[in-house]
Amino acid sequence: MKTEESLYIKILIWAYNRQESGFVWNDLQKEFNLTKEQEQWVQKVFRSNMPASENLIDHIYNTEANSYQYFITAKGISAAIDYLNLKEAEKSGKRAEKIALVAIIVGVVVGIIQIIIQICF
């Protein structure tokens, strides 16, 4: 199983964490040290879909800052929440496996002790 998160997931969660304040494109480039190829890939995957409602990230023009402000869309938020829920379920599943293993070991030990007590007494 792949332990390192992909660039897609990293950017999605990063944008999700900035959903209220938004971000400028340079912040994204600097945060992930994107190459030109990666920048093009990010633009294709996150914001080139038509209609705009299908984009994971969209932008508005900020007249005060004279630049575009980017933000995660409803579809992007949904994808991020789905991923975070999956990670939480994965963590809960691992915890449940550990508890089940301990329960099985306790059951086996108790069973063996009962057999020994029946034989000896």
- Its pTM stands at 0.76
Does pLDDT of 112 surpass 90? yes
Closest to 46 measured CA to CA, from 21, 77, 67: 77
Structural domains of the chain sorted by starting position, each given as residue range(s) with its CATH number in brackets: 7-90 (1.10.10.10)
Do 76 and 57 contact (CB within 8 A), yes or no? Answer: yes
Closest to 57 measured CA to CA, from 84, 79, 87, 83: 79
- pLDDT tens digit sequence for 34-84: 999 999 999 988 988 677 778 999 988 888 878 889 999 999 999 999 999
More confident residue, 97 or 47: 97
Task: Report d(CA 120, CA 102) in Å as an integer.
Answer: 27
